[in-house]
Chain A
Amino acid sequence: MSLHLYDYVLSGNCYKVRLFLALLNQHCDVTAVDFFPGEAHLSPTFLEINPAGTLPVLTDGDLTLCDSAAILVYLAQKYDNSGTWHPSTDAATSAWIQFWLAFASKLSDTVGQARLHDMLNLPCDIDATRTAGHRALRELESHLSEQGFRGHRFLIGDTPTIADIACFPYAALAPDGGIEHDDYPAVRRWLVDIRRLPRFIEMPGIHRLHDQADDPTP
């Protein structure tokens, strides 16, 4: 029995899973699926694994999960010994986690779509999509500002949860779709806090925080 991820390296949704596995220090076998240019996610072989033809897919023994939010919930409940990544201490906290997992889909449908348009030439109404993306980032900005007043660095509290992992990738990748971070100081600070987490890994479009490296300068 081992974890197996069907992955596409440029997908923010796949990166949510890779990132969370890295933060949990949890090994996982990875199969790359040629989403672009090969459209292998629509191939008969892949549709046997996931009839919806979406990525990521995680299998654990007989279990197959086909949605990044579902995968994050599963990994947190099964592989997070600390119990901090998906706190279900009270009804409100559980509900807020659900809220941000749903909000992550909104980011992927707006900011993520703009990125696919600008990067891989996938069709969409780019102006409307960017406008909706900015609206979503404003929502995130207001919430993170308020979290700052409470002394909380992350979406739920002062420790990161799967809510942060779900929302991080497309918020961070927004400039890939022509949505700059300039107007969102609280979002920028939150992005840096996530990038500073121990065992954090990057994806293309999100650079290493080089200020943490040893400076070889004389």
Chain B
Amino acid sequence: MTSPDIAQDDWYPVAIAAMLTAGAEQRVTLMSHTLRVTRDAAGKATVTDDHGTARPVCEAHGHVWSSIGTPPHPIFSLPEGVQDGRRLVDCGPVRVKASPLRVVENFLDIAHFPFVHTDILGAEPHTVVAPYDVEIRDTVDEVWATKVSFYQPQAAKSASDGIVTEYEYRVPAPCATILYKTCPPRPAEMDVIALFVRPLNEELCDAYAWMALFDDDTALEDLIQFQQTIFLQDRSILENQVPRKLPLDPRMESPTRADKTSIAYRRWLKRRGYHYGAETRGV
């Protein structure tokens, strides 16, 4: 049993902003609470709980966000999301029978690419994970992995040949993670791919993928379906990890050097006391 106290004060995605049209109403579950998400004629989004009480609401990074608690901070910033020239792509929520923390951790992992995203994000014999840097940035209280590189046969919809892709990973909140990666058409910029996760409960979640890309050529539908392909390849893995919750006791699973980001992520969750969706036995 874990306390939702820390976790309930975070922001979580409750709707795709563009799909919440004026007059529309969506019902979603957040941490076992039913929320009603609406938008009035003036364009203002409102979230109320099952007692009719208004919940905190904000719109950012393509989504409407809310909380069953009282967020002490505004939502994390993502400047690339408003940068000129980027295409913003909503990929939709996909439901996964797994802890939201397992979903985030999988997003931070590159060693699985050759086996789970075969011939797209990785391929044997290019399985080596080169050393990279990981830090918990105390000033912003975020996990960052930098200088991550990996050989990829088709790194993005706009890539046709294999390249060594360079990545940075950022975890600005326990259930949100952002990937900055080599942008084939604009070598000076980084594409942004984010995954925002809403826990329905500790072992079930909806994951919203969202992208901010420099790619004027690829059809929107192809961009969405490329990302859905990747995420749905992960889904069958995520639903078969045991236990469903993310173990925070380092003795329960056996990481290696390639798992430095995941190790830092688990340590950061433990330090923050964020236990929702975590297996805390032994901690």
| Chain A in direct contact with chain B (Cβ < 8 angstroms) | yes
> Which residues of A pack against B, CB within 8 Å?
8-10, 31-34, 36-38, 40, 118-121, 175-176, 178, 202, 204-205, 207-208, 210, 213-214, 216
Is the CB of B219 closer than 8 A to any CB of chain A?
yes
Is the CB of B101 closer than 8 A to any CB of chain A?
no
Is the CB of B270 closer than 8 A to any CB of chain A?
no
> Restricting to B156-173, which residues have a CB under 8 Å from any CB of A?
none
Query: Roughly how many angstroms separate A176 CA and B94 CA in the complex, as a whole number?
Result: 12
Closest to A33 in B: B221
* Smallest beta-carbon distance B105→chain A, Å: 20
Give chain B residues whose Cβ lies under 8 Å from the Cβ of A37: 16, 19, 90-93, 224
Is the CB of B181 closer than 8 A to any CB of chain A?
no
Give chain A residues whose Cβ lies under 8 Å from the Cβ of B115: 210
Per-residue A-contact encoding for B22-36, CB less than 8 Å = 1, 0 else:
000000000000000
Query: Roughly how many angstroms separate A176 CA and B206 CA in the complex, as a whole number?
Result: 15
Which of B77-85, B228-236, B253-261, B272-280 sits within the interface?
B228-236
Query: What number of B residues sit within 8 Å (CB to CB) of A?
Result: 32
Are A40 and B221 in contact, with the CB atoms below 8 A?
A: yes
Closest to B230 in A: A204
Give chain A residues whose Cβ lies under 8 Å from the Cβ of B124: 210, 213-214, 216
Are B95 and A119 in contact, with the CB atoms below 8 A?
A: yes
Query: Roughly how many angstroms separate A38 CA and B233 CA in the complex, as a whole number?
Result: 21
Are B225 and A176 in contact, with the CB atoms below 8 A?
A: no
Is the CB of B133 closer than 8 A to any CB of chain A?
no
Are B97 and A118 in contact, with the CB atoms below 8 A?
A: yes
Contact of B228 among A9, A121, A175, A216 (CB under 8 A): A9
Give chain A residues whose Cβ lies under 8 Å from the Cβ of B206: 121
Give chain A residues whose Cβ lies under 8 Å from the Cβ of B232: 10, 119, 204-205
**With A216-B124, A216-B127 given, is the CB distance from A121 to B221 under 8 Å?**
no
Give chain B residues whose Cβ lies under 8 Å from the Cβ of A178: 97
Closest to B227 in A: A9
Query: Roughly how many angstroms separate A136 CA and B95 CA in the complex, as a whole number?
Result: 25
Are B220 and A34 in contact, with the CB atoms below 8 A?
A: yes
Is the CB of B187 closer than 8 A to any CB of chain A?
no
Give chain A residues whose Cβ lies under 8 Å from the Cβ of B225: 8-10, 32, 34
Give chain A residues whose Cβ lies under 8 Å from the Cβ of B222: 32
Give chain A residues whose Cβ lies under 8 Å from the Cβ of B74: none
Closest to A180 in B: B240
Kindly list 15 other residue pairs between chains A and B, CB separation below 8 angstroms, not including A119-B94, A120-B94, A216-B125: A9-B225, A9-B229, A10-B225, A10-B229, A10-B232, A36-B92, A119-B235, A175-B236, A204-B229, A205-B233, A205-B235, A207-B118, A208-B119, A214-B124, A216-B124
Are B221 and A34 in contact, with the CB atoms below 8 A?
A: yes
Are B228 and A10 in contact, with the CB atoms below 8 A?
A: yes
Contact of B95 among A9, A38, A118, A208 (CB under 8 A): A118
> Restricting to B1-32, which residues have a CB under 8 Å from any CB of A?
16, 19
Give chain A residues whose Cβ lies under 8 Å from the Cβ of B94: 119-120
* Smallest beta-carbon distance A149→chain B, Å: 32
